[in-house]
Structures are given as structure tokens and as C-alpha cells.
Structure 1
Amino acid sequence: MLRFMPVGDSMTIGSAGEHTWRYRMWQHLRATHGAPFQMVGPRETLYNKATGAADSYEYADPDFPRAHLAGWGEGWYHLSPLIADAVRASRADVLLVSLGLIDLGFYTNAPQTSENVRAFVTEARSANPRVSMALLPVIPNVRAESDAPFAREVAAFNDLLAKTTANLDEPGSPLLLASLPHGYDIHTDTYDGTHPNAAGEHKLAAAFADAMHQSWGVGSPYTSHLAERV
């Protein structure tokens, strides 16, 4: 049985009233994986904008395995120290990681963020030497349209992420760099220029699903499910 752990920032944890891309991924794997699997992680909640804390269970559809390791305002900087314990406790086999926007926006530049990626991979492997990781590049958000230095940092980090992924890839613990979500448009696939709406959730899930199918033979392409948006 494969155990998948979604790891990410506000785009992954989601906020009260949303489905989240985690839900879309679970639906996709349930329909196409063809073998038992679990969604695992030490957290289950959504971010609650009313309280400013991750204390909500108000999913648009709460009837799915909600486990994850994601946090509003958290990045590689925050989750690298937590990943070993999370992998060890959950016995995660596959990490689906979407991080970096928060780091580059508030904490670290592109090279520093890349070093935190390396630390994350090392810590994850210390808990499970055969763990697999699919990593999503940073999607430039609305800030990148008006803040040229920030946009350059995002582009520089994505280049470094590609190199880091290639350098750290191992046969027994593969690292996979997914492509940016096909056709993703922050003006139509988000509700605020950063956080995904229903269409964006599907495209984020598709980026991971298609990469895993193409590289690892997991499940099937996500394209057939895009028409099922709700």
C-alpha cells in the first residue's frame, strides 16, 4: 500500500469551505490507482481566515482522508525541520511537495531556499531511505506581476530546483520535478491571484498526477477528470 503525504503552504492546506487539491488528488487516485493507498500526515485541518489559525474542519466535502503536512504561511524553511518526524510517524512512501512561494516572499532568497530543499530531502530520507518525492515548481503569483525582483527570485529558484532535483535523484529514492500546471492562469484559476479556486485545484492535482504517471507509472493521466470540475 502506497502512502501519499501532501506537503505545502497555503495553496495546499486550503481554507475553510474549499475542497483543496488534496481532495482532487484523492479522487483521482481512488479512480485510477488500481491498488490500496492512503493519504497520510500529521495534520488534518484547513486554515480559518476568521480566526487566523488552522483550526477549521469545514471542507466543502469532508468525506475524504484529510491528512497532510501543510501550513498557511509555511515554506521549506518551516517544514524541513518537521519532515523526518512526519515521514517516520506516518510511514509515508510518496511526498507531494508544493513549497517555495512563502520562502522567497519573506524568508530566504533562491540559493538559500535551494539549500533548504536539500535539507528537506536529507531529513525525509533519514526517516525513510526509500521515500519518493514529487516536487512542484513555484507558480508565480500576482506579486510577481508587479514586483520584478521577486519574479526574478522565483525564476532563479525554479532553475535551482530543477538542478537540485536532478542532483539528488537516486534510484532507490527518486525525486521527480513536476511541470508547472498546464494552462494555469492566476486570473482564472485562483480567487485572489495566489490561492486556487476549483479549477486551480484540479490543475494542481493534475500536475502531480501526470508527472507520477509519466515517470513512475502511478495511476493514469488526469486529463479525463478535468471535465468533472465542481
Structure 2
Amino acid sequence: MTIGSAGEHTWRYRMWQHLRATYGGPFRIVGPRETLYDKATATADSYEYADPDFPRAHLAGWGEGWQHLSPLIADAVRASRADVLLVSLGLIDLGFYTNASQTAENVRAFIAQARSANPGVSMAVLPVIPNIRAESDAPFAQEVALFNELLAKTVADLDEPTSPLLLTSPPDAYDIHHDTYDGTHPNASGEHKLAAAFAEAMHQAWGVGGRYDRVPSTAGTAGTAETAETV
């Protein structure tokens, strides 16, 4: 949902547009990766962004979750000097790798590793959002609900004044039948709604940027931002 696939804008692009319009100071999007996922080759080697001028740095992977990125986040933060992380992870973990409790432990590991590289890093974290599997698989839906509860508790437990953690609200009125192209991955309206979830949370909690006012009502195609530098 964050890396996006060939031909898409990505929600990272929507966030970049939003910050350019509403954030008064300089900012930079950073990260060690730049590519999109190419469905034709099943590899993350595409640079075919819908807008080729987008600064496309990120740390996201197709099929990668908390357990995959926890070992990578310290080096990414250290190398890029990121000070704000926008994190949308969990669905792939719960779907294929770990249960809710194990995934929550990987959240703690991720946060600890990020702070080891920058003790003052800020993080905004999105809960697992509606998806097609949760609509049809009741046990999986229960794991998602449990993980989101554990995620909220983890964020509250580990929040620190010098390294704030922020749990965003789920995207407003997110409908998998209109905001995704396959029940999981966002189309254009879904991208806007994901960006809006982060933007509204950062604006309300941290005074970053402004209100997000670009959410469309129709469908179409997929992060990070910062107040100085973001992964």
C-alpha cells in the first residue's frame, strides 16, 4: 500500500503535494529506496511513477511488514537523518507471518531500533485499515482488531515527550469497494484518504501542515514526510 506499483502516484505523492501546499518550512522526503513494484515482473524495480518529478525516496516493500523493516529502520534513519516516520504496516504481517501479539512485539522492536538511530525521532503510525480478507475471513478480522488494540496500547505505552508517537485515526469513510482496486491496495481516492489520515493527525497533534482538503469522492490509484527530513 505504501510502495505502490508501476503507473501509480502513491499516497506518498499525495502527502508530498499536501505538505508543499500547507507546510510553511522546508522539508525533505528521504529513504534508501525509490522504486515501485512492477506486477509484470513481480519485482520492485520500476520507476514508472504517474508523476516522474515526485521525490520518490521511501522505505517500503511489496510484501514487507514490521518484522521485515524492524532490522532496517535504524540504518535508514541514521543514513537519511530522518526525524519523522510515517508508518503503515501490519496487514502483511498478520496475513502471512505473525499473529497479533507477535506483530505487536515487532512494533516495539521497530520503535526501539528507530530511536537507537535518532532518540528524538517522531512517528505517526496508521492502524491496519479495512481490507478484503478481513471482510470474508472472520478469524483474520479478529486478529486485525486485536492487533489494532495492541498497537494503540503500544503507542500509548512508548510515547515520550522527546520522541512522540502518534496513532492516526483510520482513514475517514474508507471503503474497500471504492478506495482500492483489488480490495486491499489503494486507488487514487484511497491514496488521498491514506495521506489525509496522516496529515490530519500530524496537523492536530503536532501543528504540522494544515487540514487535508483534497480527498476526492471517486476512485483512481500509493510514505513518508517530515518537518525537516522524513523516511
> TM-score scaled to structure 2, two decimals?
0.93
Match of 2:3 in 1: 13
Cα deviation, 1:132-165, whole Å, max 9, x if unaligned, reads: 0000000131011111110000000000000000
Of 103, 120, 144, 1:130 maps to: 120
Inter-partner Cα distance in structure 1 for 2:190 and 2:42: 23
Match of 2:201 in 1: 211
1:15-164 map, 5 Å: 15-164=5-154
- Secondary structure at the counterpart of residue 57 of structure 2: coil
Inter-partner Cα distance in structure 2 for 1:190 and 1:174: 31
Gaps of 5+ in 2: 221-231
Larger mean Cα displacement after TM superposition, 208-217 or 137-146: 137-146
- Secondary structure at the counterpart of residue 147 of structure 2: helix
Shift of 1:226: 2.1
Aligned partner letter, 1:139: I
Of 210, 214, 223, 1:220 maps to: 210
Shift of 1:228: 9.8
Aligned partner letter, 2:97: Y
- Secondary structure at the counterpart of residue 70 of structure 1: coil
- Secondary structure at the counterpart of residue 24 of structure 2: coil
Name the CA shift for 1:51/1:90 in 2 (closer, same or farther; >3 Å): same
Aligned partner letter, 1:14: G
- Secondary structure at the counterpart of residue 69 of structure 1: coil
Cα deviation, 1:14-49, whole Å, max 9, x if unaligned, reads: 000000000000000000001100000000000000
- Secondary structure at the counterpart of residue 194 of structure 1: coil
> TM-score scaled to structure 1, two decimals?
0.94
Q: Is the 8 A contact 2:120 2:162 kept in 1?
A: yes
Q: Is the 8 A contact 1:75 1:101 kept in 2?
A: yes
Inter-partner Cα distance in structure 2 for 1:175 and 1:38: 20
Say how many residue pairs are matched. 219
Q: Per chain length, whose mean CA-contact separation is higher, i.e. which structure has more relative contact order (CA < 8 Å, sep 6+)?
A: 2
Of 178, 190, 195, 1:188 maps to: 178
Match of 1:200 in 2: 190
Q: Is the 8 A contact 1:80 1:116 kept in 2?
A: yes
Runs of 4+ in structure 1 off by over 6 angstroms are none
Inter-partner Cα distance in structure 2 for 1:227 and 1:132: 29
Q: Is the 8 A contact 2:189 2:217 kept in 1?
A: no
Aligned partner letter, 1:202: H
Q: Is the 8 A contact 2:22 2:209 kept in 1?
A: yes
Aligned partner letter, 1:34: G
Inter-partner Cα distance in structure 2 for 1:144 and 1:22: 25
Q: Is the 8 A contact 1:15 1:47 kept in 2?
A: yes
Inter-partner Cα distance in structure 1 for 2:59 and 2:108: 18
Q: Is the 8 A contact 1:140 1:154 kept in 2?
A: no
Inter-partner Cα distance in structure 2 for 1:48 and 1:143: 23
Inter-partner Cα distance in structure 1 for 2:24 and 2:188: 25
Gaps of 5+ in 1: 1-10
